[in-house]
Structure 1
Amino acid sequence: MSDQERIGGDVVVETLRALGAETVFGLPGQHALGLFEALRRAPDLRVISSRVENNLAFAADGHARALMAANPGGPAPVTPMIVSTGPGALLTLASLQESVAASVPLLGISSQIPVAGLGGGRHGYLHELTDQQASFRDIVKSVHVVRTVSQIPTALREAWESAATVPFGPVWVEIPQDVLLAPTTLPPITSVTASPAPLAPLPELVAEAAKLLGAASNPVILAGGGAARSGAHAELKALSEALRAPVFSTFGAKGVFGWEHPLSAQSWMEDWHSTEYLQNADVLLVLGSGLGELSSNYREFAPRGTMIQVEADLGKLESNYAALGIHADVKLTLEALLEWVPMRESDGRAEAAVAEVLAKVQSRLDSQPVEVERKLIEDIRAAVPEGTQTFWDMTIAAYWAWSAWNSDNAPIHTSQGAGGLGYGLPGALGGAVATGGPVLAVSGDGGAMYGIAELATAVQHELDVTWLIVDDGGYGILREYLTGAFGQSTATELSRPDFVALAHSFGVSATLSSLDNIGTDLGKALRTPGPSIVVLPALLKMFAATHLEK
C-alpha cells in the first residue's frame, strides 16, 4: 500500500474533518489499523491516546464536557473516539453509560471483523463477537453500521447528527477491518455537514405553561442537567427574575444559575429544607431533569402543587411525577416562555425565602461535626484559579462538592450520572486537551487505582492536570454505607501504593499534603504547568442529609 493510495480509513478521517472534528481519542487494535494509518496521514487532526479503553472513553467525555462548559449554548462539541473490535470496544461500555446519563455527545467508532465473518456463527476471528452491535444498542443513543466504503460518509453524518441532537449523547459506528483497509476510488470527502434538528416546544403547551406560571403565587424553578446542556444560562436568569421565582439546581445543573444570585437556592438537593420548599411550590417548573433518585431526595419529594416539566428526553417526561409535560429543548422553551410570562415587581419575598432556606441548610450543617469536610471544600475552591474546570470521581469529597461547590467560574464535572468509579483523572485529561489547562481532578484512593496508568498519558501528551487524591485507605463511601446499614464493612479496606513515589516513577511531581496545608499545596500545583499530584491522607465523612424533624 503506497502512502498516496487512499483507503476506507482515509474516508473516515476525511469525513470527521468535514464534520468539524479537530481531536480524536484513539487506542489502536488489530482490526483498526486502517483507521490509525489514516490518522497518521492527517496531521491536522490531533490524536490523543490512552492506556485503557474505558479511560479513553472517559477522556473523550471530559473533552466534550469541557467544551460545552467553555461555550454554553454553542453547537454540540461531538468528540470522536476510536477503538478496536471486541474487548477494546466492550471496555468502553461503563464509560458510555456515564455519557448517556450525563447527555454528553460522543461519536464512538469501532472496527469489526471482516465482512465475510459477520451475520452470526463463529468464524474464529480474533476479538470476534457474535453480535457486537447488541452490546451497545441499549447503552448508546444509536448504532450505525457500515459494510462498504461508500456508506462511510453518510453513516458518520447520521451518527454525528444523532449525538448532537438534544438530548445529546454517545453514538456508535462499527466498520469492518477489510472496509477500513480497502482501496477506494471515492474522491476526497470535504463537504459532509451535520444539521441536528432543533427540538422546539409546541406553542399551545408554552401558552399553558405561561398561564400557570403567571397565575402562581409561589412559582419555583428546578434547573436540571438539561438546562445546563442546552446553554440556557441567560434565559433561566431572565425567567427567574421575571417571575421572581427561586431557582434550585440539581447536581447536574451546577453553574447554570449564579451561585450568589439573590434568587439562587443553590444545589442542596439532599437537604430536606430544599425538598420541602420545592414541594410546597404552587407551580414548580422543572427544566431538564427527570427527577430521578438524587434530584427527588431519594424519592421523598412529593409535590403538592402543579408541576411543569420541560424535558428533551422523551422517556423521562412524566416518568416519575405527573406534570404538564413539554418535550423540548430547555433553551428554546425558555425563549418562548419569556414572550408570554408577565414581569413582576420584586417585593423581596422570594429573596427572603431563599435566604431562609439557605440559612436552615447552614444551621443543620453547623449542628453536625463536619467542620473538616466543609473547610476542605472551601480550601479546594479557593485554590482553584478562576476559569479552571474540575473533574470529580465518586468519592466523599465529590459528594460534598455536588451540594457545596460554587461553580461560578470553576465548572464542575462529575460521574454521578451513572455513578461509576474512575472518572476523575481521565475526564480531566480530556478537559485539559479541550482547554489547554490547568484542570483539576479529584479522586479517592480507590477510584484513583482505576486510572493510575493514565499518568503515562498525561506525561506523554504534556497535559496540565493537577490530580488531588484523598487517601482514606479504602472505598470510603461504601465503608460508610455498609457501616451505617450493618455496623461493619466488608471488602472496603484497600492496600494501595505510595502515590507520591508512584507519581515520581512516571516523572510527575507529587506532594504529600495535609488538611492544614491542602489549600497552599493545591494552589502551587495548579499554578505549575504540566501534570502533578497532591496526596491528602484524610478520613472524611458525609453529612446527615435529612432534617431530623422531617
Structure 2
Amino acid sequence: MPQKSGSRIFAEFLADSGVTHVFFLPAIMLKGLAEMEDLGIRRVMVHGEKASAYMADGYARASGRPGICMAQYIGASNLSAGLRDAKLASSPVIAITGGPTPSSRYRHAYQELEDFTQFDPVTKFNARVDDARRLPDLLRQAFREATSGCPGPAHLQIAGPHAQVAEGRTDLDTIVEQRFTRVPAFRPEPEPEAIREAARLLSRATRPVIVAGGGVISSGAAAEVLALAEALNIPLATSMNAKGTIVDDHRLSAGVVGTYSRGCANRTVVGADLVLFIGSHTGGQVTHNWQVPPRGTRVIQIDIDPAELGRNYVNAVSVLGDAKVATARLLDVARGEPQADRSGWIEEVGGFVKQWRAEMEPFLSSSARPMRPERICRAIGETLPPDGVVVTDTGHSGIWSSTMIDLRHPTQRFIRCAGSMGWGFPGSLGVKCALPDRPVLCWSGDGAFYYHIAELETAARYGINVVTVVNNNSSLNQEIPLFDKAYGGEQRGRADEMWRHSNINFAKVAESFGCVGMRVEDPRDLDGALREAYAANRPVVIDAVSDERAMAKQPWLP
C-alpha cells in the first residue's frame, strides 16, 4: 500500500466528510491546507482565533456538519476561549491546534506553554496526536464525539507549533464513517412504555404546553413537534435555540420563553398543568433560573442524553431518545388517546399573546428618532425573505431579536449566540458559508460588533455576503441600570465613561473595509435599506442609529 502524509490524510478526510470550509489563522497544518487546493475546500483565513471558532460554530449549526477551526500553538488559548460558545450551544465544532513535541518540553521553547487542559471544559473529546499514524483514528473519533448523542466540540492537539508531526508518512487508509459526518449520528428509539405513559399524561392534561429546545433543531424535528402540537391542540413555546419551530403568527405559538422572552410565553408556561420539554437542557435561561415553570409543575422530558433527564425538574416521565423519532412515536400513540377539552386553555393563551402584542405595538410602530430597537426588529421581520436566516448576538441583541422579530415562514431560521458578546458577526459569516444561497442577516449591537470588526475585511475578501444590522446606540446601554444601582440610584461624575462609546458611523467603517455601508436614522427608511442590502450581493453593514435609553422589558414572573 503506498504511503501518504498525515497532511494528505487530513485533507482527504475533511473532503470525504463533506466539509466545504475551514476557518483558520496561520501558521497551522500548512501542508494540509496546501493539499486542500484541489479538493473543493475553501480555506478562510481570519483575523483572530476566537473569530475562527465562532465561524466554525455558525457553520456547524447552519449545516449540521462539523465546523473546522485551526490555530497554531501560540493561538490555542484564544481558540479554546472561542469553543466556549460551541459547547454551550451543543455545536459539533472540531478544533485543530499545534502542540509541544517531546524534544521541546521543559526547555523554554519559543512560545511554548502547556495549554492542553484548557480544552477539557469546552470539549467532549480532547486528544493529543504525537504520531502521524494516529491521525486517521483520532480524526474519526473526533467526528464521532462531535456528532453523537448531544453534539459538542472536539479538539486535536497535533505535535509541533504548526502541527508538523502531521507531515510524517503512514500506510494507513483514509477511512470516513459517513454516519458521523453530520448530526444526529444516531436516532435512538424511545422505550415504548415511556411513550405510552407520556401519551397518557398528555391526554389528561387540560392546560399543557410544549417547550421546544435546541435539540429539536439539531435533530430536524420541527415538523414532528409542530404536528404534535396541532394534533393535540397544545400551545408551543420555544427556547431561543428553537425559535422558528413554529411561525410566530400561528394560533398555537406562545413565543420564546425564559429570560430573553415574551411575557405571553412565560405566562403560558407558568399557567400550565403539564410541561413537555423536547430536546432542552432545562437550563437557567429557558426557565428563567428554574422559575418558569415553577417547582412542582408536572414535567415530561424527551432528550437524547440520559444525563439531562430530570437534571433540573423531577420528571413525571423521562423519555430517552432522539427528538424527531420520540416525538413521532408520541404522536402515533397520543392520537389513540381521548384528549381533554383544551379550548378554554387555547383561548386563554391566545389572550396572553394578544395582550403582549398590544403592549409592544407602540414600540414596534414607533416613529421616534433616535429609533427604537423594536421598530428596527419589525422592519427586519417584515423584509426577511422566506428562506432568510437571522443570526443574533447576545444581551440586548438576543432579547430584542428573540422577542421582536417575527418569523412568518417555516423555511426561515434563527441562530443565536449561546454566550459570548461578539459572537454574532463572525458566527453569521460561518452561517453564510454553510448556506451560500440563502439570505443571512446578522443583528448586533455596536458593543458586540466592535469585538470582531476586522472580519469585515474577511467578508469582503471572500465574498461572504452577510447583511449586518448594527443597533448603534453608541453605548453598552444594558449596563446603565446596573451602574445606576452601583451609584446608589443616580450616576454622577464620569460614570458614563464605563458604558458609553464614541459616536461612530459604522457605514463609513464598512466602506473602508470594502463592504457596502448604509446609515439609517429615520425608521421610514429601514425597509428600503434592508431590501437594497439583500439585493447588493456584497457584504453590507446597516448602521441603525437607536435610542441609548431604550431598555428591554424584564422577563414576566407571577
Assess same fold via TM > 0.5.
yes
Residue aligning to 2:453: 452
Equivalents in 2 of 1:100, 1:515: separation in Å? 39
Equivalents in 1 of 2:516, 2:389: separation in Å? 20
Give the one of 225, 228, 233 matched to 2:217: 228
1:369 is displaced (CA, Å) by 10
1:35–1:180 Cα contact (<8 Å) kept = no
Equivalents in 2 of 1:387, 1:481: separation in Å? 39
**Paired letter, 1:349:** G
Residue aligning to 1:400: 400
What are the equivalent positions in structure 2 for 1:418-429 lying under 5 Å apart?
A: 418=419, 420-429=420-429
SS in structure 1 of the partner of residue 95 of structure 2:
strand
Equivalents in 1 of 2:454, 2:516: separation in Å? 16
SS in structure 2 of the partner of residue 463 of structure 1:
coil
Equivalents in 1 of 2:439, 2:361: separation in Å? 33
Residue aligning to 1:102: 89
Query: For 1:19-76, what per-residue CA distance to the aligned partner results, in whole angstroms no more than 9, with x for missing partners?
Result: 33222222222x5334333334x44222122111111111111112222xxxxxxxx4
1:526 is displaced (CA, Å) by 1.7
Residue aligning to 1:85: 73
> Are 2:45 and 1:60 equivalent residues in the alignment?
no
SS in structure 2 of the partner of residue 208 of structure 1:
helix
1:456 is displaced (CA, Å) by 0.9
1:303 is displaced (CA, Å) by 4.6
> Are 2:169 and 1:169 equivalent residues in the alignment?
no
Q: Identity of paired residues, percent?
A: 25
Structure 1 residues 454 and 546 mapped into 2: Cα distance closer, same or farther (>3 Å)?
closer
1:443–1:468 Cα contact (<8 Å) kept = yes
Equivalents in 2 of 1:539, 1:315: separation in Å? 44
Equivalents in 2 of 1:543, 1:179: separation in Å? 50
Residue aligning to 2:484: 483
Equivalents in 2 of 1:93, 1:175: separation in Å? 15
2:136–2:172 Cα contact (<8 Å) kept = no
**Paired letter, 2:9:** V
What are the equivalent positions in structure 2 for 1:58-457 lying under 5 Å apart?
A: 58-67=54-63, 76-86=64-74, 88-117=75-104, 122-130=106-114, 132-177=115-160, 180-186=165-171, 189=174, 191-195=176-180, 196-269=185-258, 270-301=261-292, 302-323=294-315, 324-342=317-335, 348-365=343-360, 371=366, 372-407=372-407, 408=409, 409-415=411-417, 417-418=418-419, 420-436=420-436, 437-457=438-458
Residue aligning to 1:518: 526
Structure 1 residues 532 and 275 mapped into 2: Cα distance closer, same or farther (>3 Å)?
closer
Equivalents in 2 of 1:115, 1:15: separation in Å? 27
Equivalents in 1 of 2:365, 2:154: separation in Å? 42
2:393–2:422 Cα contact (<8 Å) kept = yes
2:383–2:530 Cα contact (<8 Å) kept = yes
Equivalents in 2 of 1:469, 1:204: separation in Å? 51
**Paired letter, 2:154:** V
Gaps of 5+ in 1: 68-75
Residue aligning to 1:70: none
SS in structure 2 of the partner of residue 92 of structure 1:
helix
Query: For 1:260-289, what per-residue CA distance to the aligned partner results, in whole angstroms no more than 9, with x for missing partners?
Result: 222121225435543343133222111122
**Paired letter, 1:198:** R
**Paired letter, 2:66:** V
1:149–1:179 Cα contact (<8 Å) kept = no
Query: For 1:161-217, what per-residue CA distance to the aligned partner results, in whole angstroms no more than 9, with x for missing partners?
Result: 111113111111111126535441426625554443433323332222122112222
1:360 is displaced (CA, Å) by 2.6
Equivalents in 2 of 1:199, 1:245: separation in Å? 25
SS in structure 2 of the partner of residue 26 of structure 1:
strand
**Paired letter, 2:147:** A
TM-score, with normalisation over the residues of structure 2? 0.87
Structure 1 residues 438 and 262 mapped into 2: Cα distance closer, same or farther (>3 Å)?
closer
Alignment size in residue pairs: 529
**Paired letter, 1:340:** V
Query: For 1:69-122, what per-residue CA distance to the aligned partner results, in whole angstroms no more than 9, with x for missing partners?
Result: xxxxxxx41122222113x121123331111111211111112222434xxx52
Residue aligning to 1:71: none
RMSD: 2.6
1:304 is displaced (CA, Å) by 4.5
Residue aligning to 1:44: 40
1:500–1:535 Cα contact (<8 Å) kept = yes
SS in structure 2 of the partner of residue 126 of structure 1:
coil
Query: For 1:429-449, what per-residue CA distance to the aligned partner results, in whole angstroms no more than 9, with x for missing partners?
Result: 112212225321222111111
TM-score, with normalisation over the residues of structure 1? 0.89
Query: For 1:437-491, what per-residue CA distance to the aligned partner results, in whole angstroms no more than 9, with x for missing partners?
Result: 5321222111111111101101110111122112211212223443366533561
What are the equivalent positions in structure 2 for 1:1-16 lying under 5 Å apart?
A: 6-16=4-14
1:160 is displaced (CA, Å) by 0.5
1:331 is displaced (CA, Å) by 1.4
> Are 2:510 and 1:503 equivalent residues in the alignment?
yes
Equivalents in 2 of 1:211, 1:377: separation in Å? 41
Structure 1 residues 445 and 272 mapped into 2: Cα distance closer, same or farther (>3 Å)?
closer
Equivalents in 1 of 2:374, 2:6: separation in Å? 55
